[in-house]
């Protein structure tokens, strides 16, 4: 009698190689997933900062149109000048807002340049600049 081997199924080496390939692919996908999550968090922070800056620009533009907007110190965007900075919490993100208000030369005080910079620790800055018309 001869000893016959069955040829159905996989050998141990084939299974080991297949599992190794699956592990490598899974780890690569997991790294991409973590990277995507990190970028999603940064994008969310950028959106929150942009919305916070936009709301402040609208508020300052309305104050300029009403004529109730005083010029700020020239370095108000770089340091927290009293009356020209605040801290807001939007969607769980702590934002530091600073703004600069300066008359636009050549318009006789009828136009004000408004710049708002919003910062979040570890996420950088967002800055929006506009010109608002004042009433005499």
Query: What is the token pair recorded at 107?
Result: 């318009």
pLDDT tens-digit map of 59-79: 999 988 888 888 999 999 998
Mean pLDDT, the chain, integer: 89
9 secondary structure, DSSP code: S
Beta bridge pairs of residue 89: 94
For the question of whether the overall pTM of this predicted structure is more than 0.85, the answer is no
Q: Looking at residue 123, what is its pLDDT? A: 79
Q: How confident is the model at residue 101 (pLDDT cuts 50, 70, 90)?
A: very high
- CA R_g for the chain: 29
- Say if 106 falls within a structural domain: yes
How many domains would you assign to the chain?
1
Q: Which residue range(s) make up the domain with 23? A: 12-133
Tell me whether residue 7 is in a domain: no
- Residue 100 pairs in a beta bridge with 115
């Amino acid at each position: 009698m001869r000893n016959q081997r069955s040829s159905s199924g996989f050998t141990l080496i084939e299974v080991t190689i297949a599992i190794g390939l699956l592990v490598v692919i899974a780890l690569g996908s997991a790294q991409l997933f973590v990277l995507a999550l990190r970028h999603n968090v940064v994008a969310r922070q950028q959106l929150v900062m942009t919305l916070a800056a936009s709301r402040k620009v609208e508020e300052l533009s309305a104050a300029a149109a009403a004529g109730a907007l005083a010029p700020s110190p020239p370095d108000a965007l770089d340091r927290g000048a009293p009356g020209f900075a605040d801290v807001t919490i939007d969607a769980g993100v702590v934002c530091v807002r600073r703004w600069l208000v300066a008359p636009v030369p050549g318009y006789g005080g009828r136009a004000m340049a408004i710049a708002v910079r919003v910062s979040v620790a570890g996420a950088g800055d967002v800055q929006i600049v506009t010109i608002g018309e004042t009433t005499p």
